[in-house]
Structure 1
């Protein structure tokens, strides 16, 4: 009887371990997953192109401390949202709940900053439209991040697709912000 009990115990433990490992691999964020994280590897061509666009943008504005222009000063709070390592590097990045929560907080703060600009600054109609489009992009980012945060039953391939879509959404939102800022800068140059 003891040999049957031990064999049953070892088979049961082995089955549980295999189940947990399988769940960790196929459903990274499930309640049965051991690590509750996912390793995201961005498309190197997309990451490189985005990094170039971001550097070009950073070279177009001068974060001068003597500038009392609120829009220029706000860049120091907005640009870091788009400078995250997982967006601009080709290396793999571990994505767990703390990282996803951090993304959500940063996007919400950026949205609040842009909304305060929209209310407090005197922009032309065109500038306001571009700024509103950027805010809408940030709302879309928030929705995507919340979806990822609550994707407990999603498979590895679905989570990979969600991260790729999130990556592209960040890039698109950055493009919207860069367009707004370019229009704002051109108005400033035209009035000089």
Structure 2
């Protein structure tokens, strides 16, 4: 009887330890849920959404001015823009982000990087536009590294992950600002 109580107590302590470990280190190998709630600053999200709408309006005007003639840059911008329209960037509500969600975010960034590289080698730009494209591409590569770091952060606490996630969010906003500058410079050269 004592042996059964000891086994039961040991199992209960082990279970409590695992639950506690899951709470503190949500992306660890022992984690059951493997997700972290992230809530962005509503004021930042509101300003970001406003900037995104303004950009889309400028882009649409640019497309309308070009008529049926679409150059490669104008065409690719619509696909790069998808990276900035992810739900977790636009939502003021708390969202739970798993490693699978982070893989999806990384995939969007990698696709945008691929398109930016394509523009680098297949389009001709003036010196200023080329410089902004280079800066945007470098920043996109850095963003990709930050997301990869987050995906592989098994030994970070929930608080550390929240801080890193906030930094990634702000990096997206900074990257969007660079993207906007590149587009404005590009559309000004036409």
TM class by shorter chain equals over 0.9
The equivalent of 2:173 in structure 1 is 171
TM value normalised by structure 2: 0.94
The equivalent of 2:102 in structure 1 is 100
The answer as to whether partners of 1:111 and 1:135 remain within 8 angstroms in 2 is: yes
Quick check: 28-37 or 159-168, which moved more?
28-37
How many pairs align? 186
Report how far residue 48 of structure 1 moved: 1.0
The equivalent of 2:15 in structure 1 is 17
The answer as to whether partners of 1:26 and 1:156 remain within 8 angstroms in 2 is: yes
The equivalent of 1:140 in structure 2 is 142
The equivalent of 2:153 in structure 1 is 151
The equivalent of 1:186 in structure 2 is 188
Residues 61-100 of structure 1 mapped to structure 2, 5 A cutoff:
61-62=59-60, 63=63, 66-100=68-102
Greater RCO (CA < 8 Å, at least 6 residues apart): 2
Please give the secondary structure, in 2, of the residue aligned with 1:185.
Answer: helix
The equivalent of 1:112 in structure 2 is 114
Report how far residue 6 of structure 1 moved: 2.0
The equivalent of 2:51 in structure 1 is 53
Cα distance in 2 for residues equivalent to 1:26 and 1:76: 40
The equivalent of 1:160 in structure 2 is 162
The answer as to whether partners of 1:67 and 1:73 remain within 8 angstroms in 2 is: no
Cα distance in 2 for residues equivalent to 1:149 and 1:138: 17
TM value normalised by structure 1: 0.93
Report how far residue 70 of structure 1 moved: 1.3
RMSD: 1.2
The equivalent of 1:42 in structure 2 is 40
Structure 2 portions without partners, runs of 5+: none
Please give the secondary structure, in 1, of the residue aligned with 2:96.
Answer: strand
